[in-house]
Amino acid sequence: MTDRTSQRRRRIDGFALFWGAPSFLWQGVFFLAPLIVLVAMSFWVVRNFRLTPDFVFGNWERMLTRDYFWAGYGYTFQLALLVALLASLIAFPVAHYLAFRARPGIRRLAIFLLITPFFTSYLVRIYSWKIILSTEGVLNVMFGWLGLGPFGMIDNAFGAVVGYLTLCLPLVIIIQVFALSAVGRALIGAAHNLGAPPLRTTLTVTIPAARIGLILAATFAFILSFGDYVSPTYLGGGTPPTMSILVVDQTKSGNHWPRASVVAVTMVLTLVTVLFAALFAAYGRPGKKT
Amino acid sequence: MTTILTLDKVEKRFGDTVALEPTSLGLEKGEFLALMGPSGCGKSTTLRMIAGLEAASGGTIRHWDRDITDLPPWERDMPMVWQSYALFPFLTVRENVEFGLKQKRRATAVDRRKKSGEWLERLGISDLADRKTDQLSGGQRQRVALARALVLEPEILLLDEPLSALDAHLRLRMQSELKRLHGDLGITFLYVTHSQSEAFAMADRVAILNAGRLQQLGPAREVHAAPANRFVAEFVGGSTILTGTARGEGRIETPMGLLTALAGYPAAPGETVSFLVPSNRVGLSEAATGAPNEVAARLLTEEFTGSFVTVYLELADGTEMKVQLQQSDLDALSLAPGTPLYASWPAEAGYVLKEV
């Protein structure tokens, strides 16, 4: 009896296979294969500026023992974490308003406006920040009128974070709006009814009820900022270098693709770890006790 | 009896639509009042205004002598049991029950635990205390929702169609349990439902709403026996409504002939009136017997529901008449659809409505 049911379960579903195959193929050819090449390449060597297949740990040893690598790693990780936190905090009041207070028309318009930034090139948006934030830029001129500044808002971590937020914030708001919209109105009514004022309700009911979406939004912000090259280069000034800048540096200085691969593989491993941690935080706490 | 909650000309408008016309009613301490009517009649809106979840557009709501019309919901002591249960899915059963106690900061953690334990025990869900609510059945969720509200020891418990998501068997069991709970606790229940059987089974008094207007308020028996108008009579069911012209002394001229209805509103001659014929007062025969209130009819269908049989007849003017009989009463009759029959009822059973 049990044999039969287990056999039945193992039967191949042709329909799912047919429709699922293209995406598996795509993932295989354009994600898995390059990833394998990337990992393999991190063990290759460069001779006379030529990439030569080999199996040495020299690249790993070289990168992982350098202070600038770990400084860059720490800096990138901290920035991405800060952006995930900042984006979540800045987005929440907006998303809360759009999900619970705004009229449907306003909400639709807001969602539309939040999508439009993705129409324009990210690079263009970052360049426009340069005009606003640079030492002779719009903001500093205005601060000058007040007898303040000029403030260094570019070529430092502040500039990089502004750039990262430009990239992530619309997406984080959109995900949060959908996460909060899915929270049942009755739950919020029940919290009020049982004596919880609005702020307490938000903290003890709305946020826990929307937890999965909120964590997902923050994770997106982390992943996007951790790997971004444009913001740290054009607004962050490139010092200290982030991981993405390190990758480019290695390929430019001495065509060292294997060392760049080491950085890239480290990034992939970090993102996979962060993603799993986030998914565990979002879904995997059954029957948690207080 | 003392009035614990007073609605004084309370009304609710959403833009141009009126959800509730100015309505006044008092809730007596310790009673079980059912607020009923079809969907969209304003019953849930009324409950939500009492809970403070919806702002009244006019009028005042008083709890004892205190005006609570503008009090936010979290400052009122009126826990509600929701149709959807509205349990917090990220909390365990016990945490759900303790939620209100935590907010009101009335009790220490130890007290909270003790109180929630008592109520879980009382409602027979102690075994489920550490489960998440999504692992519970509908009936179990219902109990958690009840425990969550009752643990606050409220004077008034609000119930918004709490049984409508349950299957018929469970609904009946919960009905008797709610009724018993009400008796044991001695607190006031305000119960919103669209089901007249639920309301009549449990409530001391019923208030019937239609289109935002209070139609009738009174003890369940009274509303059943003496409905105020045609809407209430139809909503309550159990009677056939006939219409005709009053000819004085209870006589009414109808397309079926001159009939007599002695109970209810005394109509002036010439007035158009509607009157009820209770379905359990009608007798059937195959031949005319010459009884005073006798009409010719045609059998449409019969419905066997266990202890009695409901027979549907068509009268001369096309009215469908409902007759409730014991199985033994039917043995003498041959009941094939289309059979011509005669229906008659005592003159004092006919109840004239005040409004047509």
Q: What is the pLDDT of residue A288?
A: 44
Tell which B residues from 173 to 232 touch A, by Cβ distance under 8 Å: none
Q: Which residues of B touch A286 (CB under 8 A)?
A: 132
Within 8 A by CB and 6+ apart from B30, the residues are: B186, B187, B188
Q: Which residues of A touch B99 (CB under 8 A)?
A: 191, 194, 196, 204
Are B219 and B260 contained in the same domain? no
> With an 8 Å Cβ cutoff, are A197 and B86 in contact?
no
Distances (CA, A) of B21 to B9, B11, B24, B237: 8, 5, 10, 25
Total H helices, total E strands in chain B: 9, 21
- Kindly state whether B40 is in contact with chain A, defined as any CB-CB distance less than 8 angstroms: no
Q: Is A278 helix (H, G, I), strand (E, B) or coil?
A: helix
pLDDT above 50 (res B156): yes
Are B68 and B172 contained in the same domain? yes
Mean pLDDT, range A38-49, rounded to an integer: 89
CB B207 within 8 A of CB B216: yes
Which residue on chain A is closest to B88 by alpha carbon? A187
pLDDT above 90 (res B26): yes
Mean pLDDT of chain A: 90
Strand order in the sheet with B272-278: B257-260, B251-254, B239-246, B272-278, B351-352, B263-264
What is the C-alpha to C-alpha distance for residues A212 and A223, in angstroms, rounded to an integer? 16
> With an 8 Å Cβ cutoff, are A192 and B89 in contact?
no
Report pLDDT digits (tens) over B250-292. Answer: 889 998 888 999 888 888 888 899 999 999 899 888 888 888 8
Q: Which residues of B touch A205 (CB under 8 A)?
A: 88
φ, ψ of residue B86 to 5 degrees: the values are 50, 45
Which residue on chain A is closest to B89 by alpha carbon? A209
What is the CATH architecture assignment of A59-283? Orthogonal Bundle (1.10)
pLDDT above 70 (res B198): yes
Distance from CA of B243 to the nearest CA of A (A): 45
pLDDT above 90 (res A135): no
Which residue on chain B is closest to A186 by alpha carbon? B86
> With an 8 Å Cβ cutoff, are B90 and A287 in contact?
no
Are B295 and B327 contained in the same domain? yes
Sign, Cα dihedral of B108, B114, B117, B119: negative
pLDDT above 60 (res A2): no
Are B95 and B205 contained in the same domain? yes
The DSSP call for residue A276 is H
Antiparallel, parallel or unpaired: β B294-304 and B351-352 = unpaired
Are B216 and B244 contained in the same domain? no
The closest CB to that of A287, out of B74, B79, B132, belongs to B132
Are B252 and B202 contained in the same domain? no
Q: Which of B200, B225, B250 is the last residue of a domain?
A: B225
Please state the domain extents for chain A.
Answer: 1-41, 59-283
Are B22 and B57 contained in the same domain? yes
Are B216 and B251 contained in the same domain? no
B230 domain residue, yes or no = no
The DSSP call for residue B268 is P
Mean pLDDT, range A62-79, rounded to an integer: 92
- Reported ipTM: the value is 0.87
- Kindly state whether B135 is in contact with chain A, defined as any CB-CB distance less than 8 angstroms: no
Are B59 and B124 contained in the same domain? yes
Of residues A173 and B257, the one with the higher pLDDT is A173
Are B212 and B336 contained in the same domain? no
Q: What is the pLDDT of residue B304?
A: 82
B8 domain residue, yes or no = yes
Burial status of residue A89 (CB atoms within 10 A of its CB: 0-12, 13-18, 19 or more): exposed
CA atoms within 13 A on the CB side of B127: 4
Here the CATH number for the domain that contains residue B260 is 2.40.50.100
Q: Is B12 helix (H, G, I), strand (E, B) or coil?
A: strand
Total H helices, total E strands in chain A: 16, 2
Q: Which residues of B touch A195 (CB under 8 A)?
A: 74-75, 100, 103-104, 152
Long-range contacts of A42-48 (CB under 8 A, 24+ apart): A42/A258, A42/A261, A42/A262, A42/A264, A42/A265, A43/A258, A44/A257, A44/A258, A44/A261, A45/A258, A46/A254, A46/A255, A46/A256, A46/A257, A46/A258
Q: Which of B174, B202, B225 is the last residue of a domain?
A: B225
Mean pLDDT, range B141-166, rounded to an integer: 93
The model carries a pTM of 0.84
Q: Is A91 helix (H, G, I), strand (E, B) or coil?
A: helix
Report pLDDT digits (tens) over A136-155. Answer: 889 999 999 998 878 889 89
Distances (CA, A) of A204 to A92, A196, A207, B30: 15, 9, 7, 33
Domain count, chain B: 2
B231 domain residue, yes or no = no
Q: In this structure, what token pair is assigned to residue B312? A: 């549907």
Are B132 and B16 contained in the same domain? yes
Which residue on chain A is closest to B153 by alpha carbon? A194
Q: Which residues of A touch B79 (CB under 8 A)?
A: 193-194
Here the CATH number for the domain that contains residue B127 is 3.40.50.300
Which amino acid is present at B158? L
Distance from CA of A286 to the nearest CA of B (A): 8
Q: Is A212 helix (H, G, I), strand (E, B) or coil?
A: helix
Of residues B167 and A173, the one with the higher pLDDT is A173
**Confidence grade of residue B106 (pLDDT, cut at 50, 70, 90):** low
The CA-CA-CA angle for residues B243, B244, B248, to 5°, reads: 130
Q: Which residues of A touch B89 (CB under 8 A)?
A: 209
DSSP A13-54: -HHHHHHHHHHHHHHIIIIIHHHHHHHHHTT-EEETTEEE--
Count of CB atoms within 10 A of residue B271's CB? Answer: 16
**Which residues span the domain enclosing B286?**
238-353
Q: In this structure, what token pair is assigned to residue B199? A: 């309301």
Strand order in the sheet with B205-210: B80-81, B156-160, B188-193, B32-36, B205-210, B213-219
Distance from CA of B95 to the nearest CA of A (A): 9
Are B194 and B53 contained in the same domain? yes
